[in-house]
Every structure is written in structure tokens, then in C-alpha cells.
């Protein structure tokens, strides 16, 4: 199974304010591109904290995909979305989860370990059994750090947004305990495309 992440980041690497609130960091173009990545995946995974901020179905948006065709956007190919279904995976240690809307195209799966933490390898194995070929991580830096540490991320997509959020303790692209410089994941840049004030980047994680 291929695992890719997609995150909008401020120029200083933060993905939200120190209050962990919800807002769209990227432009509508970024939202369109997010739809492309969702259309290419069979499952989208977030953590409980991210889900609480947006407890809605995570699906590609047909209108956004249609409007992309008029743009010369890098790498915007995607399979048709008509008649398809998506898994929305939510990883939680048991924090309060209250989905706000159901959608017949979405099957929600909650990964809640009885003890300890969920292991990315176990989630990958379970999603593979369910037929998932591409998993899209839309989680925050806490979970992305765990998936990188487990060696389970193949590609990292980031939209660099022209804003500086700052804030000690504000979530960033990758959080957790951090890596030593020697053990830090290295990435190869595959694309970097500026559109308006944003830069759309795609990296491959080195093995
Ligand atoms: N800019 C962007 O593109 C972007 C993308 C994603 C998120 N965000 C923002 O980032 C902030 C959230 O960041 P975050 O790093 O806290 O996000 P997160 O992806 O929601 O991860 C943290 C949550 O995941 C659960 N969790 C983490 N590790 C686990 C494990 N090993 N086993 C089981 N559950 C585990 C916990 O959920 P419970 O608390 O439910 O136990 C924890 O609170 C929010 O403000 C969100 O809106 C921004």
C-alpha cells in the first residue's frame, strides 16, 4: 500500500495556531488539489484532534475537481469518483469523537487501541485487507511523526502558504519527540510549483 500525506503549512512550518483551532490555511486552489489527492486514494486518515475540528466526511469534491480541469495544474490526473466509496479512518486514544454528518460514500473506521498506542503497521495491514491501495494521511504533526518514525510514509505533499503563525507549542508539519539530525527522514523533491502566493510541493521519502 502506498501512503502519502498532504498538509498545508505556514511558512514557519506550523499547521495551526497554538490554540489548535480550525481554519483553511490554503486557498481554494489548495482545496482543489486536496480533492485530487483524495480522488487518488481509497482511504483518508486523521487523528482525533483533527477530526474534532472537522467532524465531517472527508471526500473529494466533484466541483473542485471539475474546476481544476480548466487550470494547468501539475500532476492533477485522478481516477473518476462517480459511484465510489471512501474509508475515513480516525485514530484516537479515546478522546471525545462526535461525527457531525454521515455520507453514504463514507465508511468510518475508528482505530482505538485497548492499551498503548496504535501501530501504523497494524493500520496499514488492516486497510490492505479492506482493499486500500493508497492511503492519504491528513493528520496533524503528532501522527505524521509516528508514521514517519515507523517508515510508513512514501510521499509528503505540502502546500507552503504565505503566512507566519508562530506560537510556542503550535502544531507543525511533524511533531512528536523529534528526530536526531542523523536519524531524521530525508526526502527528495519531486515537484515545487508556485501558484499565486502558494508553493505546491511533492517529496518522496528516502528509504
Ligand atoms: N494545515 C493542515 O493541513 C492541517 C492538517 C491536519 C490537522 N491540522 C490541524 O492540526 C491540529 C491537530 O494537530 P495534531 O497533531 O494534534 O493532530 P492529530 O492528527 O489529530 O493527532 C493527534 C490525535 O491523534 C490521536 N492519536 C495520536 N497518536 C495516537 C496513537 N498512537 N494511537 C491512537 N491515537 C493516537 C489522539 O486522538 P484523541 O485525542 O482523540 O485520543 C491525538 O489527540 C488541529 O488544529 C488541526 O485542525 C491542520
Domain that holds residue 61: 2-205
Neighbouring C-beta atoms of residue 67, cutoff 10 Å: 14
Report the C-alpha gap between 150 and 179 in whole angstroms.
Answer: 12
According to the model, what pLDDT value does residue 110 have?
Answer: 95
User: Does the C-beta of 93 come closer than 6 Å to ligand 1?
Assistant: yes
Query: How many angstroms separate the alpha carbon of residue 47 from the centre of ligand 1?
Result: 4
- Between CA 139 and CA 79, with CA 58 as vertex, the angle to 5 degrees is 105
- Residue 122 C-alpha cell reads as 497494524
- Mean pLDDT computed over 150-163: 98
The arithmetic mean of pLDDT across residues 34-58, rounded, is 97
Question: Tell me: the pLDDT tens digits for 68-100?
Answer: 876 666 778 899 999 999 999 999 998 889 999
Q: Is the CB of 171 under 6 A from ligand 1?
A: yes
Checking if the pLDDT of 26 tops 70, the result is yes
- Do 154 and 2 touch, CB atoms closer than 8 A? yes
Mean pLDDT of the chain: 94
- In this structure, the residue with its CA closest to atom 10 of ligand 1 is 140
Query: Looking at residue 77, what is its pLDDT?
Result: 87
Burial (Cβ within 10 Å: 0-12, 13-18, ≥19) of residue 34: buried
> How many structural domains compose the chain?
1
Which CATH number covers residue 87? 3.40.430.10
Q: Whose CA is nearest to atom 24 of ligand 1?
A: 47
Amino acid at each position: 500500500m502506498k501512503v502519502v500525506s498532504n498538509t498545508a503549512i505556514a511558512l514557519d512550518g506550523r499547521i495551526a495556531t497554538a490554540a489548535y483551532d480550525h481554519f483553511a490555511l490554503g486557498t481554494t486552489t489548495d482545496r482543489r488539489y486536496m480533492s485530487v489527492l483524495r480522488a487518488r486514494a481509497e482511504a483518508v486518515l486523521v487523528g482525533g484532534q483533527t477530526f474534532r475540528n472537522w467532524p465531517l466526511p472527508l471526500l473529494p469534491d466533484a466541483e473542485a475537481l471539475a474546476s481544476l480541469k480548466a487550470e494547468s495544474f501539475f500532476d492533477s490526473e485522478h481516477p473518476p469518483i462517480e459511484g465510489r466509496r471512501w474509508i475515513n479512518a480516525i485514530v484516537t486514544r479515546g478522546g471525545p469523537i462526535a461525527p457531525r454528518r454521515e455520507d453514504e460514500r463514507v465508511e468510518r473506521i475508528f482505530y482505538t487501541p485497548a492499551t498503548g498506542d496504535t501501530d501504523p503497521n497494524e493500520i496499514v495491514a488492516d486497510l490492505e485487507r479492506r482493499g486500500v491501495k493508497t492511503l492519504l494521511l491528513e493528520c496533524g504533526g503528532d501522527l505524521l511523526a509516528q508514521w514517519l518514525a515507523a517508515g510508513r510514509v512514501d510521499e509528503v505533499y505540502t502546500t507552503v502558504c504565505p503566512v507566519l503563525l508562530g506560537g510556542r507549542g503550535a502544531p507543525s508539519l511533524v511533531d512528536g519527540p523529534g528526530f536526531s539530525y542523523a536519524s531524521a527522514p530525508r526526502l527528495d523533491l519531486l515537484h515545487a510549483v508556485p501558484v499565486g502566493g502558494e508553493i505546491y510541493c511533492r517529496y518522496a521519502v528516502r528509504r
